[in-house]
């Protein structure tokens, strides 16, 4: 049964991340008084791209072809170790804690940057350099955020963090937890290329950050790249909701019904998180590039204050 | 977890600290005043909580005065009389830069916690978080005064320092003599008025100069 649930969790991430992305696109169109594409549009896009053959630069080497598969493998690995549909560790959860998950996500980002450099396209190099810069600033802040939850639960295992917060709801209003949650949400926006870091619907190559790394891709590999990006958004949102905001309502991992209920619960939670992201997308402007450091510094600062506060505010 | 009042006070004081950081990290004069006003309103909440717990009528008066004077009157007056009249918009002159300042501010926060050692404070305080946080706010206000070059920005740094002192005083002492606090209040108002008179006087003396030059001179 645990292995069945493990498979269900990864399948849910694979199959529903497209729905999550489609719902966000639709919601942000509705916010702008447009009709917008159907919620199912990403599925159609994926089917279309998967059926096409790619056009690849003759400068591209094996790294370029290899990267999307490795990145996809990374996202699938993360989907097995974080709590998405159950609050009990599934058989593969021993693979890593939150720091391990962050490491695997960083590996995916690293190979995508390598692939962007591989074709020698100027925009790819630009994107790789920008993403690496942002990543180098976001990563220390992310580690501090894990420490803020760590001081509350005395662990950096996402399941134990979930249990610690679910068991004592009063911990939700501790300054440490609130600051950590806000900082994690800021980093989530930065890591998944949303406003105020990057406009997810932007089409101007010169101002793109993450998107410009994948401009050279087409066909099946492009489908994998996009799919991977949606999975990353889905996984980070699920961690945000399940560990930081609403640690309740997950199945206990004993039966298939519990798992299916967990899928429904996580969809409901993601609706909340997605709405927040869409509202931010609609109401703020993109930051100028060199002010991104201030934004990420703000996230770092919030997490740091959270940790310092944990020593003075009684638990 | 402490008492509900302790939880509210802890949250409130962290928000007050964040407002000090927001002030330190902002570059628009208008924002400084907004953040200062919000900080003072949060301070009034802290004073009100302390008054509720201690059943202290004098503290209720203080909370009301704080909300009225610091939360509304001073920001509004400063906005009308300083920011609008001198056409102040962006405060670009600071050394070191914004990111370094924020890191130094975080370091000062850590220093406040280390220096106070909240674990060793007497038990029975409403919220032990108050002492290091108010110290950190005082230090952040001082930092704002050091890194900013503009007189009005330094004035706001000074007001933030005063808020830090007030936070510590209101929440730590069970019965803070109203007369002392009122004295501080009037000192504050007097200082503010003097500063106002000085800047407007300067502005009038420099009147023939173009506004841009005047902004630089202050």
pLDDT of the residue at A46: 95
Residue B203 lies inside a defined structural domain of this protein: yes
Report which of A307, A304, A157 is spatially closest to residue A239, judged by C-alpha positions.
A157
- Find the closest chain A residue to B127 by CA distance: A313
What is the least distance, in Å, from the CA of B68 to any CA of chain A? 27
Mean pLDDT score of chain A: 90
- B102 domain residue, yes or no: yes
Residue B136 within a domain: no
Contact criterion met (CB < 8 Å) for A308 and B113: yes
Write out chain A residues lying below 8 Å of B106, CB-based: 300-301, 304-305
CB atoms closer than 10 angstroms to residue B152: 22
**Res A226: pLDDT:** 94
Contact A309/B14, CB-based, under 8 Å? yes
Within-domain flag for B124: no
Query: What's the pTM value of the predicted model, to 2 decimals?
Result: 0.88
Tell me if B2 and A178 make a contact (CB, 8 A cut-off): no
pLDDT score at B1: 47
Closest partner residue to B99 (CB to CB) among A178, A297, A302 is A297
Q: Does residue B173 surpass a pLDDT of 80?
A: no
Q: In B29-161, where do the E strands start and end?
A: none
CA A256 vs. chain centroid, Å, equals: 26
Region B124-129: mean pLDDT is 66
C-alpha radius of gyration, chain A, whole number? 19
Residue B154 inside a domain? The answer is yes
Residue of A107 and A248 predicted with greater confidence: A107
**Rounded-to-integer distance, Cα B184 and Cα B177, Å:** 11
- Residue percentage of chain B with pLDDT more than 70: 79
Q: What is the pLDDT of residues B92-119, one digit of tens each?
A: 777 788 878 888 998 998 898 888 876 6
Dihedral sign, Cα of residue B182, residue B188, residue B191, residue B197: negative
One-character DSSP codes across chain A? -HHHHHHHHHHHHHHHHHHHHHHHHHHHHHHTT-----TTHHHHHHHHHHTSPP---TT--HHHHHHHHHHHHHHHHHHHHS-SSBSS--GGGGG--HHHHHHHHHHHHHHHHHHHHHT--HHHHHHHHHHHHHHHHHHHHHHHHHHHHHHHHT---HHHHHHHHHH-GGGGGSHHHHHHHHHHHHHHHHHTT-TTT--TT---GGG-SSGGGGTT--HHHHHHHHHHHHHHHHHHHHHIIIIII---S-B-SSSHHHHHHHHHHHHHHHHHHHHHHHHHHHHSPPPPGGGHHHHHHHHHHHHHHHHHHHTTS--
Chain B interface includes A55 (CB < 8 A): no
Which of B8, B9, B10 is the best residue to mutate to test the A interface, defined by the most A CB atoms within 10 Å of its own CB? Answer: B10
In order of A121, A136, B176, B181, the CA distances from A274 in angstroms are: 33, 26, 48, 48
- Residue B115 touches chain A, beta carbons under 8 Å: no
Region A59-80 average pLDDT: 93
B6 contact A CB<8A: yes
Task: Give the whole-angstrom CA distance, residue B107 versus residue B113.
Answer: 10
More confident residue, A287 or B188: A287
Give the Cα separation of B13 and B168 in Å (integer).
Answer: 10
Residues of A (272-311) whose Cβ lies below 8 Å from B: 293-294, 297-298, 300-302, 304-305, 308-309, 311
Asked whether residue A10 carries a pLDDT value surpassing 90, the answer given is: yes
DSSP structural state of residue B73 = I
Q: How many Å lie between the alpha carbon of A148 and the closest alpha carbon of chain B?
A: 15
Of A57-66, B1-10, B20-29, the range with the lowest mean pLDDT is B1-10
Chain B residues inside the 8 Å CB shell of A308: 109-110, 113
B2 has pLDDT over 70: no
Quick check: is B202 in a domain? Answer: yes
Range of the domain at B178: 4-118+144-217
Paired tokens of A99: 């720091």
Average pLDDT over residues B148-164: 85
Instruction: Decide if pLDDT at B213 tops 70.
Output: no
**A 5-34 residues inside an 8 A Cβ radius of B:** none
* Of residues A104 and A308, more confidently modeled: A104
Question: A167 touching B, CB under 8 A?
Answer: no
Give me the residue from A173, A293, A301 closest to B106, CB to CB: A301
Contact B2 A311 (CB under 8 A): no
**Hey, are the CB atoms on B10 and A175 less than 8 Å from each other?**
yes
Cα–Cα distance for residue pair A232/A148, rounded to 1 Å: 22
């Amino acid at each position: 049964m645990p292995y069945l649930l493990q498979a269900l969790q990864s399948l849910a991430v694979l199959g529903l991340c497209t729905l999550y992305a489609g719902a966000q696109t639709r919601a942000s169109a509705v916010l702008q008084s447009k009709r917008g594409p159907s919620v199912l549009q990403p599925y159609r896009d994926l089917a279309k791209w998967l059926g096409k053959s790619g056009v690849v630069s003759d400068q591209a080497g094996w790294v370029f072809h290899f990267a999307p598969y490795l990145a996809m493998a990374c996202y699938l690995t993360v989907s097995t170790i974080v709590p998405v549909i159950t609050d009990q560790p599934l058989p593969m959860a021993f693979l890593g804690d939150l720091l391990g998950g962050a490491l695997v996500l960083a590996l995916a980002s690293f190979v995508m940057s390598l692939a962007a450099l591989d074709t020698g396209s100027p925009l790819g190099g630009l994107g790789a350099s920008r993403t690496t810069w942002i990543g180098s600033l976001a990563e220390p802040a992310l580690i501090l955020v894990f420490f803020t939850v760590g001081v509350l639960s005395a662990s950096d295992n996402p399941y134990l963090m979930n249990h610690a917060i679910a068991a004592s709801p009063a911990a939700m209003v501790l300054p440490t937890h609130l600051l950590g949650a806000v900082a994690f949400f800021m980093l989530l926006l930065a890591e998944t290329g949303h406003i105020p870091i990057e406009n997810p619907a932007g089409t101007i190559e010169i101002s793109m950050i993450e998107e410009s790394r994948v401009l050279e891709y087409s066909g099946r590999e492009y489908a994998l790249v996009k799919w991977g990006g949606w999975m990353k958004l889905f996984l980070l949102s699920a961690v945000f909701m399940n560990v930081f905001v609403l640690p309740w309502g997950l199945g206990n991992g004993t039966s298939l019904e519990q798992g299916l209920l967990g899928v429904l619960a996580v969809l409901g939670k993601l609706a909340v998180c997605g709405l927040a992201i869409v509202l931010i997308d609609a109401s703020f402007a993109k930051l100028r590039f060199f002010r991104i450091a201030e934004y990420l510094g703000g996230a770092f600062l919030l997490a740091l204050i959270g940790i310092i506060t944990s020593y003075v505010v009684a638990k | 977890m402490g008492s509900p009042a302790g939880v509210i006070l802890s949250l409130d004081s962290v928000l007050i600290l964040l407002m000090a950081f927001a002030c330190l990290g902002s570059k628009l004069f208008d924002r400084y005043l907004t953040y200062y006003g919000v900080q003072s309103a949060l301070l009034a909440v802290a004073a009100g909580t302390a008054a509720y717990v201690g059943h202290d009528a004098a503290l209720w008066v203080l909370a009301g005065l704080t909300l009225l004077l610091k939360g509304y009157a001073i920001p509004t007056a400063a906005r009308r009389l300083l920011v609008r009249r001198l056409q102040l918009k962006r405060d670009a002159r600071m050394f070191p830069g914004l990111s370094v300042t924020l890191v130094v501010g975080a370091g000062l926060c850590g220093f406040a916690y280390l220096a106070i050692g909240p674990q060793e404070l007497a038990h029975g305080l409403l919220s032990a978080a108050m002492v290091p946080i108010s110290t950190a706010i005082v230090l952040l206000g001082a930092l704002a005064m050091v890194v900013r070059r503009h007189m009005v920005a330094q004035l706001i740094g000074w007001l933030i320092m005063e808020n830090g002192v007030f936070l510590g005083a209101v929440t730590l002492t069970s019965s803070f003599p109203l007369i002392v606090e009122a004295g501080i209040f009037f000192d504050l108002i007097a200082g503010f008025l003097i500063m106002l008179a000085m800047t407007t006087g300067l502005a009038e003396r420099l009147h023939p100069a173009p506004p841009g030059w005047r902004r630089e001179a202050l």
